[in-house]
Amino acid sequence: MGLAKSEIFTDKQNAISTFAKVFGHPARVAILEHLFATNTCICGDLVDVIGLAQPTISQHLKELKNVGLIKGNVEGTSVCYCIHKENWKSMKSVINTFLDQDITTKTDCC
């Protein structure tokens, strides 16, 4: 398997790529939507809401947590998850800056 050579790209380029990757699976998007809709920490109902097996949900939660978009608190024998508000705002700023770029040429060059 080849190397990604992420060191040759800027921190911003790597961050955008990482966020795009985490949004690249509909289960992770569904998890985020549910966390926003409930506006509280969620412990065990994601399996029922999303409709995937617990190990699959856990893997998606791990990916979202690794990127820093969610955080988890241990409560008894379970972990409760919620949106990491500061990191969410930071991610939005990075993505919005990238998406707000406009084409400045006056003619269609391709």
Per-residue pLDDT of the chain (110 residues; tens, 9 = 90+): 455 677 899 999 999 999 999 999 999 999 999 999 998 877 778 888 899 998 999 999 999 999 999 998 887 778 889 999 999 999 999 999 999 998 776 777 66
Task: Please give the pLDDT value at position 70.
Answer: 96
What H or E segment, with its residue span, contains residue 82? strand 78-83
> Helix or strand or coil: residue 1?
coil
> Helix or strand or coil: residue 75?
strand
Contact present, 73 and 41 (Cβ < 8 Å): yes
Contacts for 7-10 with beta carbons within 8 Å, 24 or more apart?
A: none
Task: Please give the pLDDT value at position 5.
Answer: 78
Q: What is the pTM of this model?
A: 0.84
Contact present, 81 and 55 (Cβ < 8 Å): no
Asked: is 11-96 a CATH 3.40.50.10210 domain? The reply is no
